[in-house]
């Protein structure tokens, strides 16, 4: 059954009415005509269209024709809708983000906004590989963006006061820049840096401090703590997007390093 053709057939009001009548059980063509209140030639054409797309069958009973639903085909159609209705990770992330934006905008009335959160991932890779993913731009550019964004450029100079820069591009071409500097470096163990969103002139919109802690040997426990402060109502959506954005980025990092050829 072609789903598009089936839906087009169902969308015609008279055919939809016919299906609701036949849902109660098989009917002769004459009974269908009476139920829908249309002329027999028109009703017969509608029945033939529904039969052609596989939604019902027409069988002879002596001199009469009996119409009945193809319930297997309707079950296939129901499964198709179930698949369409199934929630994806992107749906859940978008819902979480929308709730966070609403909460942030409500808090923003007349006060400075901030947030602090901690995320953790166990990564099937040694600390050396995870450390490189944070400190080498060629590796960082492969994961350092939420879904539906791409890394335009990134840089992280893993020495005290070293430069940190990230430019992301959304699917519609909009670009978002962040910049800062490294505060603390303990190779293979701890990295603290500022990575704050900036405007087109490079002015910081609010401060974001990122702390990365690594533990383990053959595999690595990564703990990420993000602290943001100084935002206002105009940047509330950005603050709300920090936690879902970083969560998606860590998921991408975990996926990247799970393949030894990538790390």
Boundary (domain end) residue, out of 51, 85, 119:
85
- Give the pLDDT confidence score for residue 80 in this predicted structure: 92
Q: Mark whether 164 and 43 lie in a shared domain.
A: no
Whether 263 is in a domain gets the answer no
Q: Mark whether 38 and 120 lie in a shared domain.
A: no
**24 Cβ contact list (under 8 Å, min separation 6):** none
| CATH code of the domain in which 78 resides | 1.10.10.10
- Give the pLDDT confidence score for residue 152 in this predicted structure: 95
Q: Mark whether 165 and 136 lie in a shared domain.
A: yes
| CA 177 – CA 204 distance, rounded (Å) | 10
- Split into its structural domains, the chain has a count of 2
**Are the C-beta atoms of residues 180 and 196 closer than 8 Å to each other?**
yes
- Give the pLDDT confidence score for residue 236 in this predicted structure: 82
pLDDT digits (tens, 9 = 90+) for 95-110: 766 666 666 655 655 5
Boundary (domain end) residue, out of 31, 53, 85:
85
Q: Mark whether 195 and 221 lie in a shared domain.
A: yes
Residues in the chain: 263
Whether 262 is in a domain gets the answer no
Sequence-distant contacts of 70-79: CB under 8 A, at least 24 apart? 73/1, 73/6, 76/1, 77/1, 77/3, 77/6
Q: Mark whether 180 and 234 lie in a shared domain.
A: yes
pLDDT digits (tens, 9 = 90+) for 16-47: 999 999 999 999 999 999 998 888 999 999 99
Q: Mark whether 69 and 113 lie in a shared domain.
A: no
Q: Mark whether 61 and 103 lie in a shared domain.
A: no
**Are the C-beta atoms of residues 153 and 165 closer than 8 Å to each other?**
yes
What's the pTM?
0.66
Identify the domain containing residue 93 by its residue range: 89-257
Q: Mark whether 78 and 183 lie in a shared domain.
A: no
Q: Mark whether 37 and 111 lie in a shared domain.
A: no
Beta strands 196-198 and 190-194 are unpaired
Boundary (domain end) residue, out of 54, 85, 116:
85
Q: Mark whether 126 and 105 lie in a shared domain.
A: yes
């Amino acid at each position: 059954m072609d789903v598009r053709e089936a839906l087009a057939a169902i969308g015609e009001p008279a055919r939809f009415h016919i299906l609701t009548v036949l849902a109660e059980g098989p009917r002769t063509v004459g009974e269908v005509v009476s139920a829908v209140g249309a002329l027999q030639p028109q009703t017969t054409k509608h029945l033939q269209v529904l039969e052609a797309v596989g939604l019902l069958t027409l069988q002879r009973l002596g001199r009469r024709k009996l119409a009945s639903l193809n319930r297997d085909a309707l079950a296939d159609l129901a499964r198709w809708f179930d698949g369409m209705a199934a929630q994806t990770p992107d749906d859940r992330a978008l819902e979480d983000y929308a709730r966070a934006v609403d909460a942030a905008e409500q808090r923003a009335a007349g006060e400075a906004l901030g947030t602090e959160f901690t995320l953790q991932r166990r990564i099937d890779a040694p600390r050396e590989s995870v450390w490189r993913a944070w400190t080498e731009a060629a590796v960082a550019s492969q994961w350092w963006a939420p879904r539906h964004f791409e890394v335009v450029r990134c840089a992280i100079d893993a020495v005290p006061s070293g430069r940190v820069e990230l430019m992301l591009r959304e699917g519609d071409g909009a670009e978002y820049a962040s910049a800062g500097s490294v505060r603390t470096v303990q190779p293979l163990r701890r990295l603290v840096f500022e990575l704050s969103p900036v405007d087109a002139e490079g002015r910081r919109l609010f401060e974001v401090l990122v702390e990365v802690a690594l533990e383990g040997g053959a595999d690595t426990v990564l703990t990420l703590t993000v602290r943001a402060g100084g935002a206002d109502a105009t940047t509330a959506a950005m603050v709300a997007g920090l936690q879902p954005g970083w969560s998606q980025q860590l998921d991408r990092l975990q996926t990247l390093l799970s393949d030894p050829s990538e790390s």
